[in-house]
């Protein structure tokens, strides 16, 4: 007769932690995006890329990043599929603009003081995403 092994009932709660959870949830992404937009407001090159009212974009970016990193699907529920390149197609994004955007985002992420491995993973994502948005020579 073989012995029956019962799964530990606690193991169902041992799901891997998401980046969203590890960094503190939505408050982290709201603060990250607030610091990013503060830099946008001070950088003439970046500011020219954004509309006069930064509020809707700020909210959308925070929701998108939270969702991407394992948080609630609020972005998709409100806006549908992210379609990042399509949504940004009307903005002239060249290498210089990409570099300015990445520098601002990298700076605010590094200021956040999160786990080094998570920071590196997020920086890699921002680097690749910013490059993917280039649509002008």
pLDDT tens-digit profile of 89-136?
Answer: 788 899 999 999 999 999 999 999 999 999 999 999 999 999 999 999
Domains identified in the chain, total number: 1
Is 110 a domain residue?
A: yes
Is 87 a domain residue?
A: yes
Q: What is the span of the domain harbouring residue 65?
A: 19-132
pLDDT band with cut points at 50, 70 and 90 for residue 86: confident
Q: What is the pTM of this model?
A: 0.85
Quick one: how far is CA 19 from the chain centroid?
Answer: 10
Residue 32 sits in a domain whose CATH number is 1.10.490.10
Is 84 a domain residue?
A: yes
Is 4 a domain residue?
A: no
Is 26 a domain residue?
A: yes
The pLDDT of residue 8 is: 46
Q: What is the pLDDT of residues 26-45, one digit of tens each?
A: 999 999 999 999 999 999 99
How far apart CA 122 and CA 106 sit, in angstroms, is 9
Is 6 a domain residue?
A: no
């Amino acid at each position: 007769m073989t012995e029956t092994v019962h799964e530990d009932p606690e193991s169902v709660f041992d799901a891997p932690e998401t980046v969203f959870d590890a960094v503190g949830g939505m408050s982290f992404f709201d603060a990250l995006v607030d610091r990013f937009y503060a830099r946008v407001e001070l950088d003439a090159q970046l500011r020219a890329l954004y509309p006069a009212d930064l509020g809707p974009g700020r909210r959308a970016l925070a929701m998108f990043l939270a969702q991407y990193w394992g948080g609630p699907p609020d972005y998709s529920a409100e806006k549908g599929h992210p379609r990042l390149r399509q949504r940004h197609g009307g903005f002239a994004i060249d290498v210089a603009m990409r570099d300015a955007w990445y520098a601002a985002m990298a700076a605010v992420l590094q200021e956040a003081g999160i786990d080094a491995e998570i920071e590196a993973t997020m920086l890699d994502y921002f680097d690749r995403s910013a490059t993917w948005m280039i649509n002008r020579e």
